[in-house]
Structure 1
Amino acid sequence: MSAAYVTLTIVAAFLTGSAAVTYLIGHEYPKAQADLKRIPRKFVPVLGALLAAGSLGLLAGFAVPVVGTIAAAGLVLYFIGALVAHLRVGSRDLVGWAVFSVTVVATLAVGLAHNW
Structure 2
Amino acid sequence: MSTAAVVVTVLAALWVGFSAFSVFARAKWVVEPLAEYGVPRAAWPWLGAAKAAGAAGLIAGLFVPVIGVAAGVGLVVYFTGAVVTVLRARSYKHIPFPLLYLAPVVVAMALA
Which range, TM-score by smaller chain? over 0.9
Identity %: 37
**Stretch of structure 1 that moved more, 62-71 or 29-38:** 29-38
Paired position in structure 2 for 1:57: 57
Matched, 1:21 2:21: yes
Note the residue ranges of structure 1 that are not aligned, 5 or more in a row: 112-116
TM-score (norm 1): 0.90
> What's the offset of the Cα at 1:29?
2.6
Question: For structure 2, which runs of at least 5 residues remain unmatched after alignment?
Answer: none
AA matched with 1:96? F
Q: Deviations over 1:32-71 (max 9, x none)?
A: 1211111111111110000000000000011111001110
Using the size of structure 2 for normalisation, the TM-score is 0.93
Corresponding position of 2:46: 46
> 1:38 & 1:77 partners in 2: Cα distance?
19
Over 2 Å off, 4+ runs: 25-30
> Superposition RMSD on alpha carbons, in Å?
1.1
- Give 1:80's aligned amino acid: T
Provide, for residues 62-90 of structure 1, a one-character-per-residue CA deviation record: whole Å limited to 9, x for no partner.
Answer: 11110011101100000110011000011
